[in-house]
A and B are shown apart, each in its own frame.
Chain A
């Protein structure tokens, strides 16, 4: 990333991360109509478009918050293509018709494509993480939430009225359980793809 120049449109990403209403409105005004048009011309309606856009915006927020989103191409192309691919994938899920989504490859430059792949990967991993987190028991979920919102593990132990050693161990094991599931899912996926 170091050598690649960050595009001035990075301001949109920062704006999303900062929940800046003016920026969000600008995105809706400038870039969303194109997405709506595309979706409506491809077996969708306005509501589909609204949902797709909203999902992508939340995804961008999450990725920006995780500090892994640095725009190296114009926001316009990046955003449109993300929405487009999301919609085509939705269509693919509901219809038997094959949908080709590689037509853009030729018209896009390499850095934009790389960026889109990154974002889609981030999304996939996030979904996997969310699913697995929901699988954890209530105790683990609660402990992890406390551990990551409380300054020190000593305070966590105090709040839960247990010993420091116990929460430390328990936390490692809860993170470990998540790690194990996610690790297995990843291995399974790479087996499937090979």
Chain B
């Protein structure tokens, strides 16, 4: 790296040069295309850094707000519905439940019966990694859609089975099956402590998609030493 060059750039931008130094630097810029093009990049990097940090909090607030609005839009409203009063929701909900009672075969176990994600606790005291903190907080609040981007950011630099595991659970909660299952499969074939847990969640993913046969096959591969083996037995029972 051409250290002198960057120190010079910074001095120039900070206005710390004498008149002669400044003139000579500007002359160099006008003559050396490579130098001036790198100087442009340097300025742009400064600008990106400024926007990155200056608006960091605002950006997080925006993302959270956006996720809330987006989830609300996509889950509850058909494009035509403008405003629903609370009692409409209640009425609509009861209609849905009635239909549910009619049409669903409630002999089959459901994902919801077994969906109780553990609490994430990977942030250590004094940890300054904002993405990691964000991931843990949103995950433990059950805001999985919001947690996903945080996990993705953390994974970019710190790919550990633990983070992968919680990331995949978030994906599963958001029904992003192929992505979630890819990670569970990776953990399942690894040797980390998340091996059996990942297998269990892989089975749950199949359950959520109502692929009962696949779910059962996966459950049967879980070792009896698995800490929550009673859940495995219970689900296997219900599937029979």
A-side residues, CB < 8 A to B, are 16, 19, 21, 24-25, 28-29, 32-33, 36, 46-47, 49-50, 53-54, 57-58, 61-62, 65-66, 125-126, 129, 133-134, 142, 144-145, 148-149, 168-169, 171-173, 175-180, 182-183, 186
Complex: how many Å from CA A168 to CA B41?
A: 19
- Whether B53 lies near A54 (C-beta < 8 A) is no
Q: Is B73 engaged at the interface, CB distance under 8 Å to the other chain?
A: yes
Set of chain A residues within 8 Å of B2, measured between Cβ atoms: 176, 180
Set of chain B residues within 8 Å of A46, measured between Cβ atoms: 74
- Whether B62 lies near A172 (C-beta < 8 A) is no
Complex: how many Å from CA A126 to CA B52?
A: 10
Q: Which one of A24, A53, A58, A129 lies within 8 Å of B45 (CB-CB)?
A: A129
Set of chain B residues within 8 Å of A24, measured between Cβ atoms: 65-66, 69
Question: Tally of A-B residue pairs with Cβ under 8 A?
Answer: 114
Complex: how many Å from CA A60 to CA B46?
A: 20
- Whether A178 lies near B66 (C-beta < 8 A) is no
Residue of B nearest to A178 (CB): B45
Q: Is B50 engaged at the interface, CB distance under 8 Å to the other chain?
A: yes
Q: Is B70 engaged at the interface, CB distance under 8 Å to the other chain?
A: yes
Set of chain A residues within 8 Å of B24, measured between Cβ atoms: none
Complex: how many Å from CA A57 to CA B6?
A: 35
Q: Which one of A32, A58, A61, A144 lies within 8 Å of B49 (CB-CB)?
A: A144
Residue of A nearest to B53 (CB): A148
Q: Which of B46, B48, B175 has the most CB of A within 10 A?
A: B48
- Whether A28 lies near B73 (C-beta < 8 A) is yes
- Whether A28 lies near B70 (C-beta < 8 A) is yes
Set of chain B residues within 8 Å of A145, measured between Cβ atoms: 53
Given contacts A24-B65, A47-B175, A142-B128, 16 further A-B pairs with CB under 8 A are A21-B69, A25-B73, A47-B174, A50-B70, A54-B67, A54-B70, A58-B62, A65-B55, A125-B48, A126-B48, A129-B45, A148-B53, A149-B54, A168-B10, A175-B10, A175-B45
Complex: how many Å from CA A47 to CA B173?
A: 13
